[in-house]
């Protein structure tokens, strides 16, 4: 498994911060992680290169801007979290991993444009199944399973998803766009999601319906998995730090700006995608002299890069939300990528950059993950003392297969 993650014996693995940043920004390196996963990733934003990528990204950037994030954080997020958290809080317990995934999938469905009621647990768990199958297809390069079997599962799941949810969601949006064209509704009343955006610009982008569908499926994966992962890791880091710094855990429960710092520091140490793969389209040399031959496999080892002691100091591996961010770096390291493919949802999930000159102003956005972390801690969520978290034995990545937490009994 490890050798496939690191790209095989011939891969050129970049472990230094500066090397990695330069590679991410190079126009001569193309995305290479999802070639095997074309069954679900073909022609999606993440795999496009050059002008085709720029064109699609320019359109999709129209949704991913501060105005939408503010609407999202202030008006959508609270209700969704309330619906997802309430049953677990009432039951007095939850599994952090399952809770995080449930919340993340509901939130991501809203952004992707798949109609969904977060209070409907059956629908949520069906969406979870769908997204897991798509992710298995996208990451076929890392799979130990028979690729044709995985591809057949993805095709069947896509067909089922289309008839159960996707086609109806697209039809509803087409009808709304028609009403807009007929002057019967205002532009501001359109759903702010990827599906509406792509249907509206489908002709200009010259993409067939199947690409619109795959792009929506890709957004579901990109948002759900990484949001859930960031949430679980941030809480885990905080719970472990509380053994020596209980004041930080208490503060994160009611100080969103501090919770955001904790999320950034945890993202640095726990990148959702621990490696990125690229292929040089021509032979090139990095500034430090590393040669990247045309057609070779270049692997950016994010987990190592984000702990580069030359940038982060000798305590680079320590979770310290009070850490001063080094000049020229971001608090989350390179966990949102960089360059052309830098994460379009970074500000949505991670919030606006924190400036070190005083408390954030009222317009500051803290990001989905910090809001989720604070909501969980404010509801009293703490690790179950009788049931410790379990690391996933099937992977060398720091993944939990379960993470039981308990909530206090409600006060009379």
Binding residues (CB under 6 A) for ligand HEM: these are: 31, 33, 45-46, 57, 108, 111, 219, 222-223, 226-227, 230, 267, 272-273, 276, 335-337, 341, 343-345, 348-349, 369
> Residue 170: how many CB atoms within 10 A of its CB?
22
Shorter beta-carbon distance to ligand HEM: residue 233 or 407: 233
Euclidean distance between CA atoms 13 and 31, whole angstroms: 15
The token duo for 171 is: 């039809």
**What minimum distance in Å lies between the beta carbon of 186 and ligand HEM?**
25
Report in angstroms the alpha-carbon separations of 194 from 109, 119, 173, 199, 265.
Answer: 10, 22, 11, 9, 29
**What minimum distance in Å lies between the beta carbon of 89 and ligand HEM?**
24
Q: What is the DSSP string of 152-221?
A: HHHHHHHHHHIIIIIHHHHHHHHHHHHHHHTTSS-GGGS--SHHHHHHHHHHHHT--HHHHHHHHHHHHH
Shorter beta-carbon distance to ligand HEM: residue 235 or 343: 343
**What minimum distance in Å lies between the beta carbon of 134 and ligand HEM?**
14
Shorter beta-carbon distance to ligand HEM: residue 223 or 389: 223
Shorter beta-carbon distance to ligand HEM: residue 271 or 407: 271
**What minimum distance in Å lies between the beta carbon of 110 and ligand HEM?**
9
**What minimum distance in Å lies between the beta carbon of 77 and ligand HEM?**
12
**What minimum distance in Å lies between the beta carbon of 409 and ligand HEM?**
32
* DSSP designation for 246: H
**What minimum distance in Å lies between the beta carbon of 346 and ligand HEM?**
7
The token duo for 173 is: 């949006």
Cβ atoms of 218 and 45 within 8 Å: the answer is yes
Euclidean distance between CA atoms 17 and 329, whole angstroms: 9
Please, how many CA atoms are within 13 Å of residue 234, restricted to the half-sphere of its CB?
33
Shorter beta-carbon distance to ligand HEM: residue 245 or 399: 399
- Name the residue whose CB lies closest to ligand HEM: 345
Greatest C-alpha distance within the chain: 69
**What minimum distance in Å lies between the beta carbon of 33 and ligand HEM?**
6
Shorter beta-carbon distance to ligand HEM: residue 142 or 179: 142
**What minimum distance in Å lies between the beta carbon of 53 and ligand HEM?**
6
Cβ atoms of 364 and 257 within 8 Å: the answer is yes
Shorter beta-carbon distance to ligand HEM: residue 89 or 311: 311
Shorter beta-carbon distance to ligand HEM: residue 1 or 52: 52
Shorter beta-carbon distance to ligand HEM: residue 256 or 406: 256
Euclidean distance between CA atoms 138 and 390, whole angstroms: 26
**Which residue pairs from 78-84 have beta carbons closer than 8 angstroms and sit at least 24 positions apart in sequence?**
78/371, 79/118, 80/106, 80/107, 80/110, 80/118, 81/371, 81/372, 81/375, 83/117, 83/118, 83/119, 84/118, 84/124
**What minimum distance in Å lies between the beta carbon of 215 and ligand HEM?**
8
The token duo for 232 is: 């679980």
**What minimum distance in Å lies between the beta carbon of 276 and ligand HEM?**
4
Place of tokens 């028609």: 178
**Which residue pairs from 348-352 have beta carbons closer than 8 angstroms and sit at least 24 positions apart in sequence?**
348/64, 348/69, 348/72, 348/111, 349/223, 349/226, 349/227, 349/230, 350/260, 350/263, 350/264, 350/267, 351/260, 351/263, 352/66
Cβ atoms of 381 and 87 within 8 Å: the answer is no
Cβ atoms of 375 and 256 within 8 Å: the answer is no
Shorter beta-carbon distance to ligand HEM: residue 130 or 272: 272
Shorter beta-carbon distance to ligand HEM: residue 235 or 272: 272
């Amino acid at each position: 498994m490890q050798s496939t993650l690191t790209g095989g014996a011939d891969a050129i693995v970049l472990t230094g911060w500066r090397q990695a940043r330069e590679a991410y920004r190079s126009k001569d390196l193309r995305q290479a992680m999802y070639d095997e996963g074309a069954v679900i990733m073909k022609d999606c934003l993440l795999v496009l290169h050059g002008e085709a990528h720029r064109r699609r990204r320019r359109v999709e950037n129209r949704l991913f801007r501060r105005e939408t994030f503010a609407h999202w954080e202030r008006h959508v997020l609270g209700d969704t979290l309330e619906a997802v958290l309430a049953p677990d809080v009432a039951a007095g317990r939850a599994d952090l991993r399952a809770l995080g995934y449930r919340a993340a999938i509901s939130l991501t469905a809203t952004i992707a444009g798949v109609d969904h009621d977060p209070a409907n647990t059956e629908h949520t768990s069906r969406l979870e199944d769908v997204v897991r199958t798509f992710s298995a297809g996208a990451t076929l390069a890392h799979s130990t399973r028979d690729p044709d079997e995985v591809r057949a599962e993805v095709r069947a799941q896509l067909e089922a998803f289309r008839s159960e949810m996707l086609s109806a969601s697209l039809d509803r949006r087409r009808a709304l766009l028609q009403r807009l064209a007929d002057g019967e509704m205002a532009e501001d009343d359109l759903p702010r999601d990827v599906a509406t955006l792509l249907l509206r610009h489908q002709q200009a982008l010259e993409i067939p319906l199947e690409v619109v569908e795959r792009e929506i499926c890709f957004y579901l994966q990109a948002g759900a998995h990484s949001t859930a992962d960031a949430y679980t890791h941030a809480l885990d880091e905080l719970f472990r730090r509380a053994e020596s710094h209980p004041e930080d855990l208490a503060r994160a429960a009611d100080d969103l700006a501090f919770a955001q710092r904790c999320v950034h520091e945890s993202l640095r140490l726990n990148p959702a995608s621990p490696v990125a793969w690229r292929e040089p389209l021509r032979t090139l040399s990095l500034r430090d002299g590393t040669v990247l031959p045309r057609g070779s496999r270049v692997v950016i080892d994010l987990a190592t890069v984000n702990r580069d002691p030359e940038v982060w100091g000798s305590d680079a591996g320590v979770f310290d939300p009070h850490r001063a961010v080094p000049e020229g770096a971001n608090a989350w390291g390179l966990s949102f990528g960089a360059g052309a493919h830098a994460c379009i949802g970074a500000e949505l999930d991670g919030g606006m950059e924190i400036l070190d000159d005083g408390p954030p102003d009222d317009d500051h956005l803290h990001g989905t993950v910090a809001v989720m972390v604070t909501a969980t801690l404010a509801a009293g969520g703490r690790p179950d003392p009788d049931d410790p978290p379990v690391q996933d034995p099937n992977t060398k990545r720091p993944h939990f297969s379960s993470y039981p937490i308990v909530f206090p009994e409600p006060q009379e």
